[in-house]
Amino acid sequence: MIDIHCHIIFGVDDGPSTIKDSVRMILEAEKIGVDKIIVTPHYNKSIYSSDKVVENFYKVKSRIRDFGIDIFLGYEVFLISSINEVFLQREQYTLNKSKYLLFELPFDILPININETVLKLHSEGIVPIIAHPERNMYYVRNMQKFIELIETGCLVQVDAASIVGIHGSNVKKFTKKLIDLKVVQFVASDAHKPEDYEIYKKSYDIVKNWAGKEYTDKIFTHNQKVIITPPSAEIISKE
């Protein structure tokens, strides 16, 4: 499996605070069969400073160089406050310097002009991936509004914890509906601590029961490969 959304870099957000804990998380990921990870610290200027991200990323990368797992750098961008930086320095914020940008929204409201923002990203050659839309209560209550968002060209990443049911039954139901509709391109751990990788493993087995092995492998591994190895002629199909 390839994880494209997790908080593993110590001392930069609400993930681990020491390098030892970063390494523990990576060992847990390796144990369940993850061999590549794009680490995605929060990029949200009003809450976290990203000054140490690159430095701490390379400290962790060098610590794990003899492991059977590798890490790459990306961000989980809080789109509302950070859109201008993304347009000015896109390679700094996209996943592993690809054209794919992982962004998150507030949990309770729908930002105005979100569909227009997605279209603007596209016009700049950036492909937006929405992180855990199933945790946005506006979309959970308005599936049609969410379908309108993805029709603008937004790819979809859901969290393992939502599949397992940790965020409640409404979130789980909404997540299953997205998987049934096959509008999900990625499942990620969104791990903040080592135990979250056990949940990621569980979510794989649940999705396999819901949707079969072929689609499950596509959204846990194959689509992610396109991001890890840019530039690529391969295009992530929306179906």
Q: How far is the C-alpha of 192 from the C-alpha of 239, rounded, in Å? A: 30
Dihedral sign for Cα atoms in the order 60, 61, 64, 69: positive
Residues 60-79: x where in contact with Fe ion by CB under 5 A, - otherwise, as a string: ----------------x---
Site for Fe ion in 74-113 (CB under 5 A): 76
Q: Which is nearer to Fe ion, 3 or 76 (CB)?
A: 76
Q: Which is nearer to Fe ion, 111 or 180 (CB)?
A: 111
Report the amino acid identity of residue 237: S
CB 227 within 8 A of CB 95: yes
CB 4 within 8 A of CB 227: yes
**Shortest Å, Cβ 65 to Fe ion:** 25
**Shortest Å, Cβ 8 to Fe ion:** 11
Site for Fe ion in 198-217 (CB under 5 A): none
Return the residue of 36, 190, 194, 197 that touches Fe ion, per CB under 5 A: 190
3-state secondary structure of 205: helix
Tokens (6 digits) for 104 = 């998150």
Report the amino acid identity of residue 43: Y
**Shortest Å, Cβ 104 to Fe ion:** 7
Q: Which is nearer to Fe ion, 134 or 190 (CB)?
A: 190
Q: How far is the C-alpha of 144 from the C-alpha of 223, rounded, in Å? A: 25
**Shortest Å, Cβ 124 to Fe ion:** 23
Q: Which of 134, 207, 208 is nearest to 174 (CA)?
A: 134
CA 24, distance to chain mean position in Å, is: 20
**Shortest Å, Cβ 209 to Fe ion:** 25
Dihedral sign for Cα atoms in the order 173, 203, 97, 20: positive
Q: Does 134 bind Fe ion (CB under 5 A)?
A: no
Q: Which is nearer to Fe ion, 151 or 167 (CB)?
A: 167
**Residues contacting Fe ion: total by CB under 5 A:** 2
**Shortest Å, Cβ 192 to Fe ion:** 8
Q: Where does this chain bind Fe ion (CB under 5 A)?
A: 76, 190
